[in-house]
Amino acid sequence: MLSRAEGGKVAVPLEAVLAELTELKRYIDALQTQINGFTAELEELSASRSLIAELKARGVRETVIPTDRGRHVMVRARLAEDNTVLAHVGLDYYVRLSFDKAIEILNVKESDIREAIKELQKELSNMLTYYQQLQAVVNRAVSEARQGATRSSTEAKQ
């Protein structure tokens, strides 16, 4: 419940501000998780682009491909066609593309992800600033409450 305090200030219950801080912290954590996920995706795109560039440069017909990120299991593979790969183009669709066209697709995806990261970082920065402001309000309220309690106990002793 809001109430008017002295000097035209609005008084907000401390519990409401603490609840807002808790929700804001969850949102900040979610933003950071999204940024980390997109950053990992950028690393995957870079690895794919590097593999395609190496296949193209060396004219590789046979290679060893990891089945997982940790490279615990590898498989030997022979390229069915020269200078083409199956590239993910969205919605679980894969298309056979030339090396150059596949790299173009990867570059577009990378650009989109970098833009998303930029927007998320901007939102994260704004939310961190707001979080710090709310923390300052809580710290000030706690400090004032302690000073008031100290004054009250001092006055009661006199």
In angstroms, the CA 48 to CA 42 distance is 10
Residue 1 has pLDDT above 50, yes or no: no
Q: Are 39 and 114 spatial neighbours (Cβ–Cβ below 8 Å)?
A: no
Task: Give the global pTM.
Answer: 0.76
Q: What is the pLDDT of residue 41?
A: 95
Q: Is residue 104 part of a domain?
A: yes
Q: Is residue 92 part of a domain?
A: yes
Q: Average pLDDT of 150-156?
A: 60
Instruction: Work out the pLDDT band at 83, boundaries 50, 70, 90.
Output: confident
Between residues 34 and 5, which one has the greater pLDDT? 34
Q: Is residue 70 part of a domain?
A: no
Q: Is residue 3 part of a domain?
A: no
What residues contact 141, with CB distance under 8 A and at least 6 apart?
14, 17
Residue 67 has pLDDT above 70, yes or no: yes
Coil, strand, or helix at residue 67?
A: coil
Q: Are 84 and 97 spatial neighbours (Cβ–Cβ below 8 Å)?
A: yes
Domains in the chain: how many in total? 1
Q: Is residue 39 part of a domain?
A: yes
Q: Average pLDDT of 111-136?
A: 97
Q: Is residue 66 part of a domain?
A: no
Q: Is residue 88 part of a domain?
A: yes
Q: What is the pLDDT of residue 6?
A: 57
Q: Are 121 and 28 spatial neighbours (Cβ–Cβ below 8 Å)?
A: no
Q: Are 82 and 129 spatial neighbours (Cβ–Cβ below 8 Å)?
A: no
What average pLDDT is seen over the chain? 86
Q: Average pLDDT of 129-134?
A: 95
Q: Is residue 33 part of a domain?
A: yes
Residue 103 has pLDDT above 60, yes or no: yes
Between residues 116 and 155, which one has the greater pLDDT? 116
Instruction: Say which CATH number the domain at 100 has.
Output: 1.10.287.370
Between residues 94 and 7, which one has the greater pLDDT? 94
Its domain, for residue 17, covers 10-56+84-145
